[in-house]
Amino acid sequence: MAEPTPAYTRLASNRLGLAGIGSLWLGPDHLLLVSNTFGVERYRRWFFKDLQALIARRTARRLVWNLVVGGASVFVALASAASFAKALTFSDHNDAMPFFVVSGIGAFGALVFFAIALANTALGPGCVVHVQTPFGVEKLTLPGRLNAFAKIADRLTPLIEAAQRQSE
């Protein structure tokens, strides 16, 4: 009779990055990272008894994204305001209508960029996570935020400590 497959619990949702799509899973005695790049799946497993440290290093990713998206928001808002100001110079509404339309579309675009920057700020600071084992240090592709890492670390710490007490 075949052994039942272990039940897995998702620790971190899928994350799209330059290395493809990744997800982090909790197994009965291990941590599993699943990476999918162009239809090729790769699995990396770390047993709790071998884990020495989970290391999170804060990155400037949130700041960079906010500067890019916030800058785009300001640029689009200024262009929208310029279009609106130009529309006000026309005496005939038919001549001004295209400028009012462009101004409205630009204002909506600026609000979208601003909302993206606000959401990015609300998600918290970004981080890079590394796993240290007796065999070396490896980078995890996720979680990408410090608050998500803290939740995962809180959940894993008792499991890792129990597995290491049993192996002594």
Q: Note the pTM of the prediction, 2 decimals.
A: 0.75
Under DSSP, is residue 166 helix (H, G, I), strand (E, B) or coil? Answer: helix
Model confidence pLDDT, tens digit, residues 7-31: 888 888 777 766 678 888 998 889 9
Q: Which residues lie closer than 8 Å to 38 by C-beta, 6 or more apart?
A: 20
Q: Which of 80, 57, 64 is nearest to 140 (CA)?
A: 57
* pLDDT tens readout for residues 27-54: 888 999 888 888 888 888 999 999 999 9
CATH number at residue 13: 2.30.29.30
| Domain enclosing residue 97, as ranges | 61-122
What's the CA gap between 59 and 13, in Å, rounded? 20
Q: Based on the domain organization, do 67 and 88 belong to the same domain?
A: yes
Give yes or no: residues 46 and 93 share one domain.
Answer: no
What stretch of H or E contains 124? Answer: none
Q: Is 49 helix (H, G, I), strand (E, B) or coil?
A: helix
Same domain flag for 130 and 116: no
pLDDT for the residue 19: 66
Q: Which helix (H) or strand (E) holds 21?
A: strand 20-26
pLDDT in tens, 129-163: 999 999 899 888 788 889 989 999 999 999 999 98
How many independent structural domains does the chain possess?
2
d(CA 139, CA 22): 12
Q: Express as a percent the part of the chain with pLDDT over 90.
A: 44
Which residues are CB-neighbours of 110 under 8 A, at least 6 positions away? 73, 74, 76, 77, 80
* Predicted pLDDT of residue 168: 67
Helix (H, G, I), strand (E, B) or coil at 145: strand
Can you give the pLDDT at residue 18? Answer: 66
Based on the fold, state whether residues 98 and 135 are members of the same structural domain: no
